[in-house]
């Protein structure tokens, strides 16, 4: 509630927004630990935010509350201090891990990806059982966590339901289904746009004043508290290998398939005790390496992923996606190929399969899934139209008043969910992290 209050006050030009005349404090500022600094949401603790909101509300508080102002403040601070929040329930802003706007975690960090990366980094640091006191939780963490919950419990279901709503019956030139689903679709897009704008403004603005000592430990767990949770061994092993992708550490999605094969088979050989099994692994490795080196593929024919579209291309994708029958995966594929053309890629050039990156293979899988689903949906729609026409004809036109085939929901939003919210999220995570041991290679 406090986080929501700060967002509202800052966006609407309230007292807190009037402080946004200085940029948030940086680590390079030469200030003492007890000096006051003005910070953005990345370092604004809920304790400081609570005080700022209470102070900003002072002019409108009834007299009984003003008379007990210090008591209210003390009680609120005591409650914030008494509440502990597991790091498993907190999602960190991308700015905690990288200040590079071009880093994968900034470009591809949807709420689910953000949460997964946060937990992987917690496991790597041995903090999966750690506890953050509510007073030290940052506004940025509160916003990211709240949005992750809303995204998974409201935004995704709303998008799926909007796509499943049948046409039902005509209302003038449009169907009743369109009139119901359009507000849902626009609402989810509008909510996402508001969140992104608020996050950026609160990160770069001066939200609250605090001390440098408090700002430096903002968002950190309490070292005296631990819930004792330990991640499974395979998750610990995975997390220990990962880091945040950036200029000095190539994202996993950018690794060539030949390198993935080399690392995988080397690991399997190292952990296998049976000499005969190790020989089999090496034999399969040689066979796959030969295939990867000699199988030639037209890499430029893999369309650019929609996440990599320019602003104009995203606008085209949104507009063409509304075109009946062909809008969606087919038009996105055409836009992706156009992206490759403008990038100067040679469509006639063949490259060894092993030089394709992990991201290339995931993009190819994404479009294969999406295009197959779109063709299936066209067949489904035509089948429904044919049965609808047969029903109307058999009933002498009377059946058009209540046509059961116009009330059958589309199953394809559910069919596409593993691709849109599964494979794409996996791709985003691999764009956001790198293998630490590969950083110097």
pLDDT at residue 393 above 90? no
Same-domain pairing of 158 and 188: yes
Same-domain pairing of 327 and 259: yes
pLDDT average, residue stretch 413-435 = 94
What per-residue confidence (pLDDT) applies to 398? 60
C-alpha neighbours within 13 Å on the C-beta side of residue 161: 11
Angle at 127 between CA 123 and CA 132, to 5 degrees: 135
Would residue 68 count as lying in a domain? Answer: yes
* Residue found by looking up tokens 């009743």 in the block: 176
pLDDT at residue 13 above 60? no
Same-domain pairing of 238 and 259: no
What per-residue confidence (pLDDT) applies to 396? 67
Q: Please, are residues 152 and 421 in contact by the beta-carbon 8 Å criterion?
A: no
What per-residue confidence (pLDDT) applies to 20? 44
Would residue 425 count as lying in a domain? Answer: yes
Same-domain pairing of 176 and 319: no
Count of domains for the chain:
2
pLDDT average, residue stretch 50-67 = 90
pLDDT at residue 9 above 60? no
pLDDT tens across 181-216, in order? 778 877 887 888 888 888 888 888 888 888 888 888
* Percent of the chain scoring above 90 in pLDDT: 50
Same-domain pairing of 292 and 321: yes
Same-domain pairing of 217 and 262: no
pLDDT at residue 335 above 50? yes
Alpha helices in 272-322 (DSSP H): 275-294, 311-320
pLDDT average, residue stretch 256-273 = 90
Angle at 322 between CA 319 and CA 327, to 5 degrees: 100
Same-domain pairing of 176 and 59: yes
Same-domain pairing of 235 and 353: no
Angle at 133 between CA 235 and CA 64, to 5 degrees: 150
Alpha helices in 125-223 (DSSP H): 139-150, 156-164, 176-204, 212-216
Would residue 297 count as lying in a domain? Answer: yes
pLDDT tens across 66-113, in order? 889 999 999 999 999 999 999 999 999 998 898 888 888 988 878 999
Would residue 30 count as lying in a domain? Answer: no
Enclosing domain of residue 69: 2-23+35-242
**More confident site: 57 or 179:** 57
Q: Please, are residues 155 and 148 in contact by the beta-carbon 8 Å criterion?
A: no
**Among 9-13, 21-25, 117-121, 343-347, whose mean pLDDT is lowest?**
9-13
CA proximity to 86, closest of 138, 150, 133: 133
Same-domain pairing of 406 and 306: yes
* Signed CA dihedral, 220, 224, 229, 230: sign only: positive
pTM: 0.85
Residue after which a domain boundary falls, among 215, 242, 269: 242
Looking at the DSSP bridge assignments, the partners of residue 132 are 85
**Mean residue pLDDT across the chain:** 86
Give CA torsion, residues 171, 177, 179, 184, to 10 deg: 180
Would residue 28 count as lying in a domain? Answer: no
What per-residue confidence (pLDDT) applies to 294? 94
Same-domain pairing of 104 and 208: yes
Alpha helices in 88-134 (DSSP H): 104-107, 111-124
pLDDT tens across 280-326, in order? 999 999 999 999 999 999 999 999 999 999 989 988 998 888 787 88
**Among 16-20, 175-179, 285-289, 340-344, whose mean pLDDT is lowest?**
16-20
């Amino acid at each position: 509630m406090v986080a929501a209050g700060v967002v509202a006050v800052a966006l609407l030009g309230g007292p807190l927004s009037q402080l946004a005349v200085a940029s948030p404090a940086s680590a390079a500022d030469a200030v003492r630990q007890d000096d006051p600094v003005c910070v953005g949401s990345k370092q604004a603790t809920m304790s400081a935010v609570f005080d700022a909101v209470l102070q900003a509300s002072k002019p409108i508080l009834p007299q009984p509350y003003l008379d007990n102002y210090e008591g209210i403040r003390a009680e609120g601070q005591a409650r914030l201090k008494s509440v502990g929040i597991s790091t498993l329930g907190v999602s960190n802003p991308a700015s905690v891990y990288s200040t590079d706007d071009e880093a994968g975690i900034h470009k591809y960090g949807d709420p689910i990806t953000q949460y997964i990366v946060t937990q992987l980094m917690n496991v790597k640091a041995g903090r999966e059982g750690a506890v953050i006191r509510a007073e030290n939780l940052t506004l940025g963490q509160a916003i990211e966590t709240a949005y992750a919950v809303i995204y998974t419990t409201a935004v995704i279901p709303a998008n799926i339901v909007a796509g499943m709503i049948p046409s039902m019956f005509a209302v003038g030139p449009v169907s009743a289904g369109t009139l119901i689903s359009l507000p849902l679709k626009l609402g989810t897009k509008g909510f996402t746009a508001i969140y992104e704008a608020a996050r950026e403004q609160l990160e770069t603005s001066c939200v609250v004043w605090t001390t440098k000592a408090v700002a430096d430990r903002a968002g950190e767990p309490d070292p005296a508290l631990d819930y004792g949770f330990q991640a499974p061994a395979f998750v610990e092993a995975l997390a220990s290998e990962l880091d945040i992708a950036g200029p000095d550490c190539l994202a996993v999605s950018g690794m060539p398939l030949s390198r993935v094969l080399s690392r995988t088979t080397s690991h399997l050989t190292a952990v296998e005790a049976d000499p005969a099994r190790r020989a089999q692994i090496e034999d399969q490795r040689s066979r796959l390496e030969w295939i990867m080196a000699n199988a030639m593929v037209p890499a430029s024919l893999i369309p650019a992923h929609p996440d990599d579209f320019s602003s104009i291309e995203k606008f085209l994708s949104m507009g063409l996606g509304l075109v009946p029958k062909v809008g969606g995966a087919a038009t996105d594929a055409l836009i992706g190929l156009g992206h490759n053309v403008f990038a100067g890629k040679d469509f006639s050039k063949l490259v060894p399969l092993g030089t394709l990156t992990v991201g290339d293979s995931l993009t190819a899988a994404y479009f294969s899934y999406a295009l197959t689903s779109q063709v299936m949906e066209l067949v489904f729609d035509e089948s429904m139209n044919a049965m609808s026409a047969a029903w109307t004809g058999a009933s002498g036109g009377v059946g058009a008043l209540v046509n059961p085939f116009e009330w059958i929901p589309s199953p394809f939003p559910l069919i596409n969910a593993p691709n849109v919210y599964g494979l794409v999220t996996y791709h985003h995570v691999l764009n956001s992290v790198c293998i630490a041991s590969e950083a110097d290679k």
